[in-house]
Amino acid sequence: MLLKTLKSINFVLDISTQKKEIYFWLFVRFVSAVLPLVTIYQFSHIIKLVESRVDFHTLFVYLILILVVRLIDNLLRLKSTTQLDYLISNLSFDVHNHFLVKFKPETEEDRHSAVQAIRNFADATIRTLTIFKQPGIDSVVSILVIPVALFLVDIRSFVLIISYISIYTVINYFTTQRYRQLRDFQNTKTETYYAKLQETDDVALEQITYTRHFHRLTNWSFIEWFLLQNTAVIFYSLFLMYEIYLVFSGVSNISDLVLVMGYVTQTQAFLNSFTDIVFGLGDMHVALTHLAKNESIPVIGQKDIS
């Protein structure tokens, strides 16, 4: 499934007419995603300096450094996200134009169904890339960098964060498989409903079917998020109790607690957005599969995504 998902991403990037621009601004966005983690470390270090009662001149220098990092962060993040907004918007037209090549539906209903399938894929692509732009890239960077930072601070905190990410990822993986099945059903009913709606007002049966499948999808989303959020709460509590114990034992100081809990909070927020990205990639793959099965769209077939 991972390989098929990667093929979906590669497919979208291949049909883009602005690949170089997308890659460049994604790189800039990755650089900007590192800077908030630097700021957390700087804030923790400031607290350590205050605890040590260093002179005001030294504190002032560190405050200026924090200001500089935050300003650079704002510049790179805002510039890259606004440029990516523009490029992602253009990408939706690239998707439309690609699938409309040699588009020859046999009936009006086939046309409406195929157009809705194209819209489903384009919408899923735009949603996913928008989330990936922000905060998705922050999530990827944080999940890679934070464990390394905690390894340098405390090996036991490193073991905890790896356990947290691993358990969260396993739950996310297995629950997402069911989500993709339900999304597949939902996309089929969406295409059927809008194709029928273009032809007649008598769509009561299609509405009932659409609503029933969408209700199943939302119920499963609740179960998945309930499991994931409770996992986050349990590990957050474990981290907090452990860090408080270290402070009371004299092993760590307040600045270490602030640093570790700051990184743990970041990890929780970014794992949530990572889940949103996984959902989006699942939607993209399902929508692309529907396009490959549609006989009215000759530019893609099952062999292209298998």
Whether 50 contacts 253, CB under 8 Å: no
Residues with Cβ within 8 Å of residue 13, at least 6 apart in sequence: 19, 22
- The encoded tokens of residue 75 equal 């510049």
- The encoded tokens of residue 98 equal 């690609």
- The encoded tokens of residue 84 equal 């990516």
- Could you give all domains of the chain from N- to C-terminal order, each with its CATH number? 2-305 (1.20.1560.10)
pTM listed for this prediction: 0.73
Q: If you average pLDDT over residues 71-88, what whole number do you get? A: 93
Q: If you average pLDDT over residues 101-120, what whole number do you get? A: 79
Q: If you average pLDDT over residues 191-208, what whole number do you get? A: 81
| Percentage of residues in the chain having pLDDT higher than 90 | 21
Does residue 230 have a pLDDT over 90? yes
pLDDT at 68: 93
pLDDT at 202: 81
Tens of pLDDT, residues 21-59: 999 999 999 999 888 888 888 888 888 888 788 888 888
How high does pLDDT run on average in the chain?
84
Does residue 265 have a pLDDT over 90? no
Does residue 4 have a pLDDT over 70? no
pLDDT at 78: 93
Tens of pLDDT, residues 54-76: 888 888 888 999 999 999 999 99
pLDDT at 28: 94
Q: If you average pLDDT over residues 174-195, what whole number do you get? A: 84
pLDDT band at 166 (very low <50, low <70, confident <90, very high): very high
Backbone angles phi, psi at 198, to 5 degrees: -70, -20
pLDDT at 84: 93
- The encoded tokens of residue 281 equal 């990639």
> Does 294 or 87 have the greater pLDDT score?
87
Task: Please state the three-class secondary structure of the chain as a single string.
Answer: CHHHHHHHHHHHHHHCCCHHHHHHHHHHHHHHHHHHHHHHHHHHHHHHHHHCCCCHHHHHHHHHHHHHHHHHHHHHHHHHHHHHHHHHHHHHHHHHHHHCCCCCCCCHHHHHHHHHHHHHHHHHHHHHHHHHHHHHHHHHHHHHHHHHHHHHHCHHHHHHHHHHHHHHHHHHHHHHHHHHHHHHHHHHHHHHHHHHHCCCCCCHHHHHHHHHHHHHHHHHHHHHHHHHHHHHHHHHHHHHHHHHHHHHHCCCCHHHHHHHHHHHHHHHHHHHHHHHHHHHHHHHHHHHHHHHHCCCCCCCCHHHHC
